[in-house]
A and B are shown apart, each in its own frame.
Chain A
């Protein structure tokens, strides 16, 4: 996956157009001693898009994220935010960063935390007050605004953590595993909040270890491994371009089967017959008939639709958490 500087739509004379990518990562290289963390990583986040960034542990995700928010100086390559280099003063203010850790002050109240980060992002007086009030309502903690955050539940802390990064209305939001250690209800709440922001035009980059989050909460997926982008696109595109769209049918059968029915393979590991079909409704009756013809009785049947997990395993050879 390569992306050159010329291939990124540049705004004419600095003006921002709809074609200008919200974020463009161009040929990033970074080494820590002998460890080459990034090896020419490139991808684009379009305006208003939700992009999931996936990769196994050690793939270079953290270095990539830190490069995107200007906290790591790459050996080579550039990062552009709305057409401007992140080295440009003030351009980083267009970005909101939500770290994986709870980067809030536990000994400040929710309101005080919001005020602190709001001020650091340039909000003052009435504007600050308005945004803090909005944030408290947005995260559903208006009634606990004056309580110290150290007394909050994990999910509540996560919500304050996110709110601190969006107070200044960033155009691009970078979330590093925003739902780690959060119960399903709070996860839902957090993603509802993010959807709200996205509807208002915020472009979102999300790294996660939950494949279901990536599948359901993103418009596009970028998979990184060994410091490079190994695949990118919509979930359908990824499936089609890697493992294909055929469903896997697994059948457990009994009876005196002298040979595998035509079109089915015996999976000795699973102890079942396996086959791939394009259309389940059309092809499945024929398969069952073939089994019966050779004297088999179907005990169990499973149809598996290819998903992101299969794509990920196919591309990286690893589970996401490895």
Chain B
């Protein structure tokens, strides 16, 4: 009996291609997609670089040298925007730095993950030529701030070592003949210069090179965005979850189109005054309204329970939610019009939405992905929606700063609904 049950179950599975595909092929497809998205971080060529801005108003040689070293760092990328965003001076190394306020603005707008600020120190450190060092971070990227502190510390110590070495070389050349035994000169130098003489100037800051200061420099890390928030993490993840579920609910609801086709209701509908244009637009409007309500409920709950500041960003939230829900509705209808049955829509939408959500940052922040995947993520409208919500709730930017995201989402919505209409032509008249 048990064998008969097993045999019948297997035969049913074998006769159902969709189920067979879902059981054995879809997991492999998912694994491959996720492996490509997250696994590619191991590749050195595509490891994400930390995007930074640098502000150096200290006028110190040490900071100038440190900036040069930071620019040479493979793990950092000094933002191109900093060159057009209030560039303050051209350093000796050719580095472009910005003013402190401009650097902070870049961080606030999310154009860089952090900013490094070198200023004249009013404390005791200035006597040693050390500027005041501050890292302005955006705790949205929780990895960058921690890594950057170590890198800056290293760069400053290396710069200091280089400067000391240059001084010691000059000192030796100017004040003493080259001794037969160099070790005797070495022993006559102060301790920190001895260390400098041993320093490998070409050492990679990320490697295990020696330090050039007896004490590491003091670096202040200031969270310029998340620091003031009561519950910063919620603002980051609310949008990600909301957009992903918006897509799932929209595609499920769009399945009604296929249901209507399967049971001949579509024939009956199209024999009435209703046209296919009106049918699709009606469903789009319905899905947009339902999606907007869904998002509003989620963020209202987030505001009440988790302290998301919805009230002060209402205009941006309404605009962004409407275009996001509209784009999700268009996308869902496009998938429905593309598929031939509700079962097919089920598995196609699951694969596509989970992939888009992973790529677009709904599951894991995009800054953790490789640069290539981050760029690929921009092809999903999730990424643009999330960026919009992050600008709004995390960076607290006004509606005017969401123009790009709103335009992209509107464009996506339009393209998807046009595609849905084209796919639906086959249902109008066979």
Contacts and interface: CB of A to CB of B under 8 A. Distances in A.
Nearest to B260: A103
A178 interface: no
B290 to A, nearest CB: 15
A100 B271 CA distance: 15
Contact of A103 (B267, B274, B429, B430): B267
Interface string B257-289: 000000111011111111000000000000000
Q: Give the contact-size bracket for chain B.
A: 10 to 19
Interface in B137-185: none
A61 B268 CA distance: 17
Given A100-B264, A101-B263, A103-B264, A120 B429 contact: no
Interface string A304-316: 0000000000000
Interface residues of A, number: 24
Contact of A97 (B267, B274, B429, B430): B267
Interface string A112-127: 0000010011100000
A105 B268 contact: no
A71 B267 CA distance: 7
Nearest to B278: A120
B56 to A, nearest CB: 66
A130 to B, nearest CB: 19
Given A71-B429, A72-B430, A95 B263 contact: no
A164 interface: yes
Contacts of A101: 263-265
A66 B264 contact: no
Given A120-B273, A121-B272, A66 B263 contact: no
Choose among B271, B273, B274 the residue with the greatest number of A CB atoms under 10 Å from its CB: B271
B273 A71 contact: no
B273 A122 contact: yes
Interface string A53-70: 000000000000010011
A97 B263 CA distance: 14
A92 B265 contact: no
A117 B430 contact: no
Nearest to A106: B263
A70 B268 contact: no
Contact of B268 (A73, A93, A103, A122): A103
Given A71-B429, A72-B429, A73-B429, A120 B272 contact: yes
Interface of A: 66, 69-73, 90, 92-93, 95, 97, 99-105, 117, 120-122, 164-165
11 contacts: A69-B271, A71-B429, A72-B430, A73-B429, A93-B272, A95-B271, A101-B264, A104-B265, A120-B272, A121-B273, A164-B268
The 6 closest A-B pairs by CB, nearest first: A99-B264, A120-B272, A101-B264, A103-B265, A103-B264, A103-B268
